Every structure is written in structure tokens, then in C-alpha cells.
Structure 1
Amino acid sequence: MRSNQARLNTGNVVPLLGLGTYSSSNDSEITEKAIHMAIKMGYRHFDTAKIYGSEPALGKALMEAMNDGVVDREDIFVTSKLWSSDHHDPVSALNQSLQNLGMEYVDLYLVHWPVRFKSWAEYPIPNEEDFEDLDLESTWAGMEKCLELGLCKAIGVSNFSTKKLQHLLDFASVCPAVNQVEMHPMWRQNKLRKFCGEHKIHVSAYMPLGGPGNFWGSTSIVKEPIILSIAQKHKATPAQVALRWGMQKGASVIVKSFNEDRISENISALNVKLDDNDMINIEKLMERKILRGDHLINKTTSPYETIEQLWDYEI
């Protein structure tokens, strides 16, 4: 197995560097162009979700690349996610995602958030009346059915704390293969990564650069003096240092950019090698979670009255 891959508990491998396809503008032409560029540069891991609206663009770009003989389906790792309004029927939701993608299966299907909405709430920011009680056992049974039917090669979760993972493990017939969470040099997830390592759950990092360019994002990571110093030492960019840090921690990193230079810069992080001192110095950075999930908090209908409840005080 190459050093730029990790093996999941299913036996399948996941490339450590992935291209995220979320875009607030959701311009399919721009998305397709970026995916084509990424494939040519060597990207083989692509992350989407129903709520991103990018499944059709990703599927079209990948199909064109496969038809042109640039890649085979077996070379590509595709992740999509169950939106909170689809917890009542993950099989139907995944079938719809597969139709959007024009594919027979995805490599990984994730429960997007540990929260359930009413079926009409097919939008990112819920209203108070959109929440339903989360029945994780029922949701996970549907996810396991997706796996059993061959609609996906692996199932997992996203935005789960260690406590929520433990609850899932208490009844799951199939252990989640992945937990995708915010993770970067300023939000290192030490407790969660330790728990996931003990249970052979792969950690996938979204916002590995802090989500610059998004309205909730931050550019502080690539401006940190410690990161800048390490970058100068290795003749690398701060972004490459941040991405390489995540990969050396054993995580796959999902980085989103549709800019050709940035796409090229990010994949070159695979060529950077941080030493022990670099890793130790990064541990000195003050931690701060950026995507807190405030939109999922209310005191009347949400299962979470506070941010601390959502993350089980791992914040």
C-alpha cells in the first residue's frame, strides 16, 4: 500500500488527499472544470453530499474522464453523505445520490450530522419546526442496508463525538469505517483520534486549512507564525504544511479549491515530510473550533440546547 493511502476497516483503501466539492455558488460548470483539472493532477478521492448540490457535476466530470480512458472507476474513491432529512430512508436517499452521480455505487456513504430533520427540510439551515427526534439505531440499520445491497463499499459518520461513536458501537452490527470531522493544526482532535484509532475507525478531516473562502471559514491557520516557520524550513507553503500535518496524523484530508494553482499546490503536500520537531511545535498552537454547528442549536425542538451538548463537551 502506498504511503498516500490509508486502509479502512473494510479492507478498502482511501487516498489521503481528497478534493471537496462543496461550493456556495454551486456552479456546475466551474465544479466540473475543477474536477477535470484535479484528475489530471492525480487526485483520486472526491467528496460530495446531497446537500452540496455537487453530485451531478462530480458524476458528469468523472464519467467523462472514465469514458476518455483517463481513469477507471476502480481508481476513484467517491464519498457522499446522508442528509438530515433522509434519516427515515437511507436506501432511497443513496439511490437518489447514485442517480445524481450516474454511478452504481459510492465508495463511502456517511451520516452527515447526528441530527434528524423532517423529510421536507432539504436545505442547510433548519427552522425550529424542522427537527425530529434522532433514532440512530433506525438510521444506522438503513445505512447497513445500503452496504448489504452493494450501493456503497463502506459506511460511516460525520461530525460524531467520541460519546456518539461509542453509543453507535453499542448496537451497530457494522462498525463505521470513517468519522469525517473538522480537523486541522488548530483543532487537532486528539481525544477523538485516539478513540477512533482504538476502534479502527479512520478519521477524515474536513476544513484541513480552516475553510478559507467560506463565510464561516478562517485564514488564521496559514498565517500562524509556527506554520509559516515550518513552511519556510521545508521550502513549502503554509497550506502544504497544514495538509501534511493531517496526513502524518493518519487522517485523509478533504481540501476544497477550484483554483488551478491551489489544486496543484495542495496535491504537492504529498511531497512534504514534516519531522518530529515540526509535529511537536504544531501541538503548541492554541486550539479553536471553527465550524461549531450553531444552526443545529435551539431550546425548543433540537435535541441539542447548547453547542456543548452537540459535541458532548469535546469543544
Structure 2
Amino acid sequence: MPAVGLVCYRHIDCAALYGNEKEIGTVLKNLFNEGVVKHEDLWITSKLWCDMQAPEDVPVAIDETLKDLQLDCLDMYLIHWPVKLKKGSVGFKPEVEDLDKVDMPSTWKAMEAVYDSGKTRAIGVSNFSTTKLVDLLEVARVPPAVNQVECHPGYSPLGSPGLTFIKSNVLTDPIVTMVAEKLGKTPAQVCLRWGLQMGHCVLPKSTTEARVKENLDVFDWSIPEDLFAKFSEIEQERLPKGTAFVHEMLGHYKTIEELWDGEV
């Protein structure tokens, strides 16, 4: 990520799965050393990957993330998915034999322990259904501070067009492009502005400095009410469904409906 992104975007959303925490750590260290920004001016999130959900692995995972990011503590640490994989499973498409039994109460207790240790200022979850969130609240001593979820009109929130497993047309959706044309903005800017007007914390990603700057130009204008209402007409679809985490015989979740508790 270009330095401009870290200077202007105050929420840095990381995860062990993303495979870039060492690079982000190097950039953060340089920015801190140069006095460009302080950690307290940022909000840095990371996520526990599914193969490190065993209670004894959670502190190991956050220590590795802190080492890579060159930080003493995180601002937020999330359970990436309500899915458990056998240790050493790599990537978002694990082998079927890597699927393991979920024990969320035990994993959450370990998350509470790293919170108590001061290694993260808050803990939360990601990709949890309402049902799974309610179940977690029943056993949590420290309630999750956030459930980071997909939110349309764009996932990530621009449709993640660079990801081969995401089949998204968010940036070419007729309503998005119509609004963008009327306002003289790009489809990406319109999607980001929609999220802001919805009151969401949007987390865009780009590896192109020009687009990073372009994505920041969303604060001195708004989408008029009549055009904003048009977004409700966009057909909703969950893009990262997590199909690789489901197996009718070997998986903890036998169907996609079970993984999402019907919220598909």
C-alpha cells in the first residue's frame, strides 16, 4: 500500500490471511520513525485465521501478527470466520480433510485472554451470522466490539474485482454507473460515498496510488436523496459465500444455509 494510503486512511484493515502484514509493518515503522503519523492516530485491525482457532494457538497467532506489523498492540483483533481448519491449512480454499470442528466458546475465551493481556484494545468477529453472534454473546465475558461483514452495493466495498473467486459486477452495475455519470464521479467513489452516507466504516483497497487518492475524494459531496434511494433496487448477493468451508460429510457445516444460518 502506498504511503499516502496510510497517511490518509486512518483505519488499516489487516489479516494473517492477506499475507502482507510484514510489508505494512515496514511502512508503519517508517511513518512512525519519520513522525508522519503516530499509532494513536490510526486504528489497526487484524484477524485470526481459521487454522489458529485452537485456544493454545490464539496467543501465538496474535504475537506473530504483532511481530510482522512491528507493533506492541492492535486496536482490534477479529475472528476472521466462524470456521475452524486444521493447523497449517493454507488459503481460502482448504482441502476437505482440513475442515475441523468449531468450538467457538473456547476460541472466544482465548480471544478474551489476549484482550486481558493488553495485546489488543478490542476484540470482535467477522463474517458471523446474527444467530452465531447471539450464541457468542451468551457465553462471552467480553462482548465482541464489532462484527465485520460484507455490505453492498460493494464488497470490500468495491466488489474486489481483482479476486478470481469473487464474481462481482458492482462497479459496472447500471444503477451505480448511472449515479456516477450524473454526479461526475467514478463508480468506486459513488460506492464509497453510499457507504459513508449509510453510516458505515468503509474499507477500500487499491494498489494504485492514483486510485488511493481518488478514493479519498468522497467527503465534500453527497448523493442526492432521489439517487440514493435507487441503490435499494440493486439485487443483493453474498459474494464470498465460504463454499469451501462446507461439506455434507466432513464439514462442521453441511450446507451454506447452515454456515450462514439461513442469511444467504
TM score, norm. by length of structure 2: 0.94
Cα distance, 1:217 vs structure 2: 2.9
Q: Which amino acid aligns with 2:239?
A: I
Q: 1:159 Cα shift?
A: 0.6
Alignment of 1:137-286 (within 5 A): 137-185=105-153, 207-286=156-235
The alpha carbon displacement at 1:280 in A equals 1.5
Give the Å deviation of 1:180. Answer: 1.2
1:118 matched to 2:89? The reply is: no
Partner of 2:3 in structure 1? 36
- Residue 298 of structure 1 corresponds to 247
Structure 2 residues not aligned, in runs of 5+: none
2:38 corresponds to 1:72: yes
1:35-60 CA deviation, whole Å, 9 max, x = no partner?
313134x1121111112111111111
- Aligned with 2:58 (options 90, 110, 113): 90
Does the 8 Å contact 2:2/2:209 carry over to 1?
no
Q: Would you say how many aligned residue pairs link Structure 1 and Structure 2?
A: 262
Q: State the alpha-carbon separation in 2 of the partners of residues 184 and 73 from structure 1.
A: 30
State the Cα RMSD in Å: 1.5
What amino acid is aligned across from residue 2 of structure 2 in structure 1?
I
Q: Find out whether 1:287 has 2:255 as its counterpart.
A: no
Give yes or no for contact 1:241–1:272 (8 Å, CA) kept in 2: no
Q: Which has the higher strand share?
A: 1
Deviation at 1:135, TM superposition (A): 0.7
Offset at residue 175 of structure 1 (A): 1.6
Matched residue type, 1:86: M
Q: Is the 8 A contact 1:111 1:158 kept in 2?
A: yes
Paired with 2:48 and 2:229, the residues of 1 have a C-alpha distance of: 36
Q: Is the 8 A contact 2:152 2:236 kept in 1?
A: no
Does structure 2 retain, via aligned residues, the 8 Å contact 1:244–1:269?
yes
Moved more, 271-280 or 83-92: 271-280
1:275 shift after superposition: 2.9
1:70, 1:124 → 2: CA distance?
35
Q: Is the 8 A contact 1:159 1:181 kept in 2?
A: yes
Instruction: Work out the CA distance in 2 between the residues paired with 1:80 and 1:121.
Output: 19
Q: Distance in 2 between matches of 1:269 and 1:312?
A: 35
What is the distance in 2 between the residues matched to 1:108 and 1:99?
15
Give the C-alpha shift of residue 219 in structure 1.
Answer: 5.0
Offset at residue 98 of structure 1 (A): 0.5
Secondary structure of the residue aligned to 2:166 is: coil
Structure 1 CA distance, aligned partners of 2:178 and 2:91? Answer: 41
1:90 CA drift (Å):
1.4
TM, length-normalised to structure 1 = 0.79
Deviations 1:166-187 (Å, cap 9, x if unpaired)? Answer: 111111111211111121216x
